[in-house]
Structure 1
Amino acid sequence: MKECQADVLVIGAGPSGAIASALLVRQGWKVAVIERQEFPRFSIGESLLPQCMAFIEQAGMLDAVNAAGFQFKNGAAFEWDGARTAFDFTDKFSPGHGTTFQVQRGNFDKLLADEAARQGAAIYYRHTIVSAEIEPGRARLIAECDGEQVAFTGKFVLDASGFGRVLPRLLDLNQPSDFPVRQSVFTHIQDNIGEAGFDREKILITVHPEQRDIWYWLIPFAGGRASLGVVGKQEQIEALGNTPEEILRAAVDASPNLAKTLAGAQFDTPVQRITGYASDVKSLTGPGFALLGNAGEFLDPVFSSGVTIAMKSAQLASECLHRQLRGETVDWQSEFAAPLKAGVDVFKVYVTAWYEGTFQDVIFHPNPQPEIKRMICSILAGYAWDKDNPYVNAAERRLRTLAEICARD
């Protein structure tokens, strides 16, 4: 059996794995990344948030991302039954990056992985992990590639396997999410949008005219293509048609304004669906391992928070692990899991309120107070860890009060 040894073993070469690997190799640690697929590969989660850019910059990848030709993004637009509003991420409460990109994840993820490799991370593609033995200070992962087994040994494991959720599966860490089972149906299209005034520099989130807990995303890419999807409860989505393409076309037709925007669109890519994507775990960390991004908890795609949470988890974990490998004592629960969960819980408040309709009342209010809108804008831009923002620091209470005021007006 082949043997590979490193200080840190990272499962998965997606955004959280690539960022964590780069941050660690920049600190002088030897990192081996075990990735099941070959890159580039298809993935959704294509509308980045500006908060991501700070983590990309810290990992030494900002110049490469800026030079890659991705679609520039400066905000988010919302539409519901003729009501339209937009948030400009450069006009936000929190300091930091105010713009980002909308990316086809195959190319974006490969760029980040290539940058991590350029800086010194060793990436092993087409390696599927079949067993894991992890204890404090020692880890051994067995992977298979082309019919052969490879043993990876290290001092710590970061699971960045996303929806593959390798360690939660192997170590029995999975637990049901408290979010309702929802279904997403999506594809890439040649959008052929000729609508005057359509802003390709913003994601467009459209609410179903009658069923407010059904919503659509339209994410323009560079080159005239776009990502299109619809999300709702499983029974709502499946009632729209028999096949994924029938469902998506019927969903678009049910929203007259979106149908007008996409009147010339060409559906040229197979339509896919994901059901019950919300996930949770018993613990984000344990002796010898930590879970990053979607390998730990995934909420919902509505505010594009997935990649931001993944990169934040990579930053926090790499900082803790660097100190631990130097011999310092690290409390992973209080220094990694709790800070990460604080921001995730903020996103959860707004996602829950979105489906209840109360946050939609806030977003579509015709006369928003400018300073409050900047605070909400910061959260939509990914700054869910900024405790200076009152709508982060006391998210549930303040959003509930704000929604009550907006509903009365």
Structure 2
Amino acid sequence: MTSTDFDVTIIGAGPSGTVAACLLMQHGLSVCLIERDEFPRFSIGESLLPQSMDYLRQANMLDALLDNADKLGFQFKNGAAFYRSGHHTNFNFEEKFSEGPGTTYQVKRAEFDNLLAEEAIKQGATIRFGQNVTNFTADDSGTCLDVVDLKTQQQSKITARFTLDGSGFGRVLPRLLDLEEPSELSPRKAIFTHFKDNIDCPKFDRNKILITVHPEIPDIWYWLIPFGDSTVSVGVVGETAQIEKPDQSLEQTLLNFIHEDDNLSTLLADAEIIAQVRTIGGYSANVKHLHGDKFALLGNAGEFLDPVFSSGVTIALRSAVQASELVVKQLQGEDVDWQNEYEVPLREGITVFKYFVNSWYDTSLQSVIFFADGQPDVKAMICSILAGYAWDKTNPFVKNTARGLRILEQICEPDNAAQDTAVV
């Protein structure tokens, strides 16, 4: 075989890329990550799910997170709180159905991604920041990436035996290889920023993300993610036509939406915006397939659903774990069926999350969430999926999500909340 620069190149140094790199290096493989941005840099996806902690552990990165969480202002997280027009409900992830970690962190992604990148470098990875991938080719000898240095405009080629794309919303290989497909989800938009929260409410639980349903438009919702330094990330999400206000600034639009909810307007009465108000739209995406000749797509580079259940990082890390195992096998000369060993099982969990997302927006899942308190066994199963365990087929709501949620929707109507759930 022709000599290559590295065993594996990875496009993007976000969570999927750095976790994949560390897993590959455990098998003695050389890895180079090509990252367009300079770190630290802003990113969305600040509320991790407990399932992610196990993937970080496998990559020998968990200790770095635990050791630096307080210093970086990360917030311990043990669940999710929901609010809708005076109705509160909580899901404690430590009371979930599935085995595995029940707690995690809410993180500032600039610092979190930078922490993981530094850990990958410590473990032996090469990371080239400020580099943009402009072309990809593959042949019998391996893969070749054409790369441009964004500061000097100097062009170079980096060869490897295999390439992973962890470029997230950059979606480098899907664009270069014409793999993109329209998402099945309706186009939505988010407006968000960080506040110095000044929250003075003894009932407010900083250990949980707060998800709020708009009091009049049930498919508009808000996130409030507390951090450990008395700041919060706050955003509002809805269909583009609902969220766009051409006659208002982004800041005013966000503040107006906050004022429309009684609970959020009270919690954030003394809050001060401390960061640029940003917007992102058309983020839901899909691809024709997640793999090809000597490449595979990780996380958001393949499919991104919606921020409502914070599934993005969990899917990204799950894909990194699954793909790295197969890359090792392939580079050791074993036959790998990427379709049935990677794409099919990865999409099984994504499909569970996708059903939850769609059911949230058609409000059927909202009924389940707000009326599940009288069904502790069922609540534990739903809690597992909210905690990221969307691949645990011992959970009836993973094994048959559509049927289970249809039954639950009927059971959890307020008048029926005491009925038996054995049919699930």
Give the TM-score, by structure 2 length: 0.94
Q: 83-92 or 131-140, which moves further after superposition?
A: 131-140
Separation (CA, whole Å) in 2 of partners of 1:330 and 1:132? 22
Letter in structure 1 aligned against 2:181:
Q
8 Å CA contact retained: 1:91, 1:377: yes
Quote the residue 1:141 is aligned against.
145
What is the distance in 2 between the residues matched to 1:239 and 1:143? 39
Query: 2:391 matched to 1:404?
Result: no
Residues 394 and 240 of structure 1: is their aligned pair in 2 closer, same or farther, counting only changes over 3 Å? farther
- TM-superposed CA distance for 1:179, in Å, is 0.7
Task: Name the residue aligned to 1:129.
Answer: 133
Q: 1:210 deviation in Å?
A: 0.8
How do 1:310-389 residues align onto structure 2 when only pairs under 5 Å count? Answer: 310-365=316-371, 367-389=373-395
By how many angstroms is 1:242 displaced? 2.1
What is the rounded CA distance, in whole Å, between the counterparts of 2:123 and 2:276 in structure 1?
36
Q: Distance in 2 between matches of 1:285 and 1:366?
A: 39
1:203 is the counterpart of 2:209 = yes
**Is 2:188 the partner of 1:182?**
yes
**Alignment-mate amino acid for residue 405 of structure 2:** L
Question: Which residue does the alignment assign to 1:99?
Answer: 103
Deviation at 1:4, TM superposition (A): 7.7
| Per-residue deviation, 1:366 | 6.2
Q: Is the 8 A contact 2:373 2:379 kept in 1?
A: no
| Corresponding position of 1:41 | 41
- Cα distance per residue 1:285-331 (max 9 Å; x no partner): 01110000000000000000000000000000000101111110000
Does the Cα contact within 8 Å between 1:4 and 1:151 map onto a contact in 2?
A: no
Question: In structure 2, what is the Cα distance between the partners aligned to 1:245 and 1:219?
Answer: 18
Shift of the 23–375 alpha-carbon distance from structure 1 to 2, 3 Å rule, reads same
Deviations 1:180-213 (A, max 9, x none): 1100000111111111211000000000001000
Residues 322 and 342 in structure 2, CA contact (< 8 A), matched pair in contact too: yes
**8 Å Cα contact 2:6/2:32 also seen in 1:** yes
Whole-Å Cα distance in 1 between the matches of residues 234 and 31 of structure 2?
A: 36
The equivalent residue for 1:238 is 244
What's the counterpart of residue 114 of structure 1? 118
Q: In the aligned structure 1, how far is the partner of 2:306 from the partner of 2:382? A: 18
Shift of 1:357: 0.4
* Aligned-partner Cα distance in 2 for 1:240–1:374: 43
Q: How does 1:286-301 map to 2 (within 5 A)?
A: 286-301=292-307
**Shift of residue 254, structure 1, vs aligned partner:** 0.7
- How far the C-alpha of 1:135 sits from its partner, in A, is 3.4
Partner of 1:7, secondary structure, is strand
| 2:75 aligned partner | 71
1:130 alignment partner, SS class: strand
Question: 2:75, 2:227 within 8 Å by CA — same for their partners in 1?
Answer: yes
Q: Partners in 2 of 1:120 and 1:398 — Cα distance?
A: 45
Measured in 2, the distance between the counterparts of 1:200 and 1:350 equals 24
Count of aligned residue pairs for this structure pair: 407
2:171 maps to 165
Cα deviation 1:25-69 (Å, max 9, x = unaligned): 111100010000111000010000000000000000111101112
Shift of 1:218: 0.3
Give the AA of the match of 1:256: D
Per-residue deviation, 1:149: 1.1
Aligned 8 A contact 2:300 2:312 in 1: yes
> 1:39 is aligned with what amino acid?
F
Cα deviation, residue 240, structure 1: 8.5
Specify whether residues 75 and 160 from structure 1 end up closer, same or farther in structure 2 by C-alpha distance, changes over 3 A only. same
Q: Secondary structure at the match of 1:155?
A: strand
Partners of 1:353 and 1:16 lie apart in 2 by: 27
5 Å-filtered alignment, 1:5-24, equals: 5-24=5-24
Question: 2: CA distance between counterparts of 1:4 and 1:274?
Answer: 38
Q: For 1:244-259, what aligned pairs fall within 5 Å after superposition? A: 244-259=250-265
Does the aligned pair in 1 maintain the 2:372–2:379 contact within 8 Å?
no
Asked if the contact 2:19–2:321 (Cα under 8 Å) also holds between the matched residues in 1, the reply is yes
> Matched residue of 1:373: which SS?
helix
Q: Following superposition, which runs of at least 4 residues in structure 1 exceed 6 angstroms of deviation?
A: none
SS in 1 for 2:383: helix
Instruction: After TM superposition, give the deviation of residue 246 of structure 1 in Å.
Output: 1.4
Aligned partner of 2:421 in structure 1 is none
Q: CA deviation at 1:241?
A: 5.5
Structure 2 partner of 1:88 = 92
Residue aligned with 1:230, SS: strand
Task: Give the partner amino acid of 2:86.
Answer: G
Which residue of the partner structure matches residue 217 of structure 1? Answer: 223
Question: What's the secondary structure of 1:302's corresponding residue?
Answer: helix
Structure 1 position 60 matched with structure 2 position 60: yes
C-alpha distance 77-140 of structure 1, shift in aligned 2 (>3 A) = same
Retained in 1: the 8 A contact 2:372–2:412? Answer: no
Amino acid at match of 2:393: K
Aligned to 2:399: 393
Which deviations, in whole Å up to 9, do the C-alpha atoms of 1:136-189 show, x marking residues without a partner?
Answer: 551000111122112100011100000000000111111111111100000111
Q: 1:379 & 1:366 partners in 2: Cα distance?
A: 14
Equivalent in the alignment of 2:419: none
8 Å Cα contact 1:284/1:290 also seen in 2: yes
Q: Distance in 2 between matches of 1:380 and 1:229?
A: 19
Partner Cα separation in structure 2 for residue 176 and residue 356 of structure 1: 20
The alignment partner of 1:235 has SS state of helix
CA distance in 2, matches of 1:233, 1:404: 27
